Structure 1
């Protein structure tokens, strides 16, 4: 973490000393300011490097709220974690609504502070809906975690990456994002669907072939590996690769060396390989359908792509994004959704994930351009209106609904304070954060 710079703005010298010592021990670069005015003066200097601010709410002179407002004007995207004393919970909640990323209540555990800082630094700036690929849109906890993972891995030296996720979650777009955020962005991005190529042609497609090397090889073929040289090769549906070719792929992944079909000499290529699958490769290994050594070679750096049902209100964000985009393509008016339709979209399990949602929006835009869609105009499986009979839901859904209600009740009783809510629930703050992420609850006031 040595590349990250933390600025502590707090007038308690003993706390600043202890925090500075602890954060430096974790590899952070730490600066400090004893007042809001001093902190703003430091950040007004463009030469001051700062990645995150720890800001005390109860500062003398310019208080924490006013300092936060000044920080927002100076550096709008700079993450700020508020530090409040007991009794300041409502003010801290107001600070979060005013642009703070998170807050902690004194006294807090160092582990809680480190977890909050690390989670915050893993979140990139919000993505422009018109510029970003649809599957990477979203501000849910699950998508924020994905954004952070993509940026960290893209900028790393890793050249063998495995994407895991259900069908339709956007693995191709994540692979493209990894390429675009890396130092290989100016080089080729080559995609190959391992399930779409005939088995007898996959080797020639990947590694190339010499003229006359097999029936129909009337000229030399340059393989996709060579075409991706210095760039990224995306192998989608890697689990469908035939066993015979898996050994040759493993050899290439180990040392970058390969041999074209019919060639007498080996070639080499510097390629970042991103593989993707919606299959359980570990189970395929046990069943003898996938090589164990190839699995372990690919399974070093993995990125899990969340299912759409795990992304909460991102469903509505994506629906509006696809509606606007489809309207532009059709040169017509964008559809909108009535409240009952939005509720139905949020209840749906989305087995086809983002692809299913995109296809739905395309169909509705063509058939009902410019309309405000009601629930009854959605496919039959999505049309359940009004309260859902929980007793008729699968046991997993019943448990999730009960868990969600318990979490919301605790957050309500604690005025949105996560630490107090965790105490009410009898779990740790970390455990509560994991539940919030899994349930797709980003902000308490969005219930």
Structure 2
């Protein structure tokens, strides 16, 4: 492990010297202060990883020092040192923010183990906070188009509601998992988020996976196991590709959604779980209901709070922002400079249909970053399917009006791209009023 800096605040100098002398771990660096005020000053100067704080100090109580330290750094762990018979005060200190306490006289090996364990817990807590923050950043909804802003507003409304059953619908690759995590993160600060793809689970194991199973409930069940619904208790269970769930499991899921109780496979008693269920699909569940492949009652139960995600083609004005975001992200992953799109390339990206939606765009930027790090990307470097199809005047499939409309759309998108989606500046660049630009965008079915 890396060096662990520890500040001991205790008025017994012999005790501090004894701890320094007896420690066997050379990675622990010990500093000392002998009054409460000296300890606070030393903490501000040294910024230690861990503090050992005596409850009985000459100038102020250990609880007062603890209060000051918590104000300066709420996350720095503090272990209280209490005299024999002062356990009640030590427990009070733990309630006020100390992570643990140890009673005099103590064994130095016991103290060393306590310090190392506390430091490891602190490291794990920081790592978890970092990963959650990184996850939050990676799951931000990127874009400023009207449809994207409506989606953001919907996510906030749903997250702030009491809804415990949510259905997300949208084409493949639009970011349904990202929307589910965004709802979860806005609703919960510290709760489990468990994601499962219903299409990836074997049909004969999906019931045990979701609801759990008792030992011996089926062949291979050598021990009792909790299901995902139990593990997500107090948080969110995200059921992706809900349309692929077998009909018999749909019935059991419906029972849980209505009663919030479930019975593990082979169990005699029902269990409760306060789990938010977010389901997602890229299929038309109403059609599946009419075809008998999805339960009508479950569809109605899931469809209480529907969240619709638009296809990328419907929010083409977001593409420059998304390209910039993914370029920076991929450059960071590859430790290189981000790729730079020429205006012609950006125009091609905005005109492309994107059947794979945001996932396809992200994969393209990743490929370009790996192959051409830091370079200016020209149309010659794009895959053939993304290159614009140039219509000919003599083509029987393309009318003159269609060619004019296509060119008009191209010019408007180019103006919007060069002004980062700002319609006022784009209108000025085109030499028309903002209202005229808005009317033309509506006529051309361009997302505002």
| Fold shared by both chains (TM-score > 0.5) | yes
C-alpha spacing 1:398/1:387, structure 2 compared with 1 (3 Å): closer
Matched, 1:439 2:446: yes
Matched, 1:226 2:224: no
Hey, what does 2:86 align to over in structure 1? Answer: none
Matched, 1:176 2:194: no
Whole-Å Cα distance in 1 between the matches of residues 237 and 135 of structure 2?
26
Hey, what does 1:77 align to over in structure 2? Answer: none
| Cα displacement (A) at 1:401 | 5.0
SS at match of 2:199: coil
| Cα displacement (A) at 1:382 | 1.3
Question: What is the 5 A alignment of 1:391-402?
Answer: 401=406
| Cα displacement (A) at 1:392 | 5.0
Hey, what does 1:133 align to over in structure 2? Answer: 138
Please give the per-residue CA displacement for 1:29-52, whole angstroms capped at 9, x wherever unaligned. Answer: xxxxxxxxxxxxxxxxxxxxxxxx
Question: What is the 5 A alignment of 1:288-437?
Answer: 288-384=292-388, 401=406, 415-417=433-435, 435=442
Please give the per-residue CA displacement for 1:166-185, whole angstroms capped at 9, x wherever unaligned. Answer: 00000000000000111x33
Aligned mate of 1:164, from 146, 169, 179: 169
Q: Determine if contact 1:167/1:352 at 8 Å carries over to the other structure.
A: yes
Hey, what does 2:44 align to over in structure 1? Answer: none
CA RMSD of the aligned region, Å? Answer: 3.4
C-alpha spacing 1:181/1:436, structure 2 compared with 1 (3 Å): farther
Whole-Å Cα distance in 2 between the matches of residues 144 and 191 of structure 1?
25
| Cα displacement (A) at 1:260 | 0.2
Whole-Å Cα distance in 2 between the matches of residues 373 and 440 of structure 1?
26
C-alpha spacing 1:392/1:437, structure 2 compared with 1 (3 Å): closer
Matched, 1:202 2:190: no
| Cα displacement (A) at 1:271 | 1.0
Q: Determine if contact 2:233/2:274 at 8 Å carries over to the other structure.
A: yes
Q: TM-score scaled by structure 2? A: 0.61
Whole-Å Cα distance in 1 between the matches of residues 379 and 411 of structure 2?
28
> Mind listing any 5+ residue stretches in structure 2 that lack a counterpart?
1-132, 414-426
Aligned mate of 1:217, from 201, 214, 221: 221
Hey, what does 1:145 align to over in structure 2? Answer: 150
Q: Determine if contact 1:257/1:268 at 8 Å carries over to the other structure.
A: yes
Q: Determine if contact 1:185/1:231 at 8 Å carries over to the other structure.
A: no
Q: Determine if contact 1:142/1:437 at 8 Å carries over to the other structure.
A: no
| Cα displacement (A) at 1:355 | 0.5
Hey, what does 1:21 align to over in structure 2? Answer: none
Q: Determine if contact 1:322/1:361 at 8 Å carries over to the other structure.
A: yes
Please give the per-residue CA displacement for 1:171-229, whole angstroms capped at 9, x wherever unaligned. Answer: 000000000111x3311111110001101111111010001100010111111001111
| Cα displacement (A) at 1:130 | 10
Whole-Å Cα distance in 2 between the matches of residues 239 and 312 of structure 1?
28
Whole-Å Cα distance in 2 between the matches of residues 198 and 400 of structure 1?
50
Whole-Å Cα distance in 1 between the matches of residues 396 and 138 of structure 2?
38
SS at match of 1:275: strand
| Cα displacement (A) at 1:384 | 2.5
Q: Determine if contact 1:135/1:170 at 8 Å carries over to the other structure.
A: no
Aligned mate of 1:240, from 237, 240, 244: 244
Q: Determine if contact 2:347/2:410 at 8 Å carries over to the other structure.
A: no
Q: Determine if contact 1:239/1:277 at 8 Å carries over to the other structure.
A: yes
Q: Determine if contact 1:164/1:276 at 8 Å carries over to the other structure.
A: yes
Whole-Å Cα distance in 2 between the matches of residues 204 and 215 of structure 1?
12
Hey, what does 2:96 align to over in structure 1? Answer: none
Q: Determine if contact 2:212/2:226 at 8 Å carries over to the other structure.
A: yes
> Mind listing any 5+ residue stretches in structure 1 that lack a counterpart?
1-127, 426-431, 442-447
C-alpha spacing 1:308/1:381, structure 2 compared with 1 (3 Å): same
Which entry has the higher C-alpha Rg, 1 or 2? 2
| Cα displacement (A) at 1:133 | 3.3
| Cα displacement (A) at 1:314 | 1.1
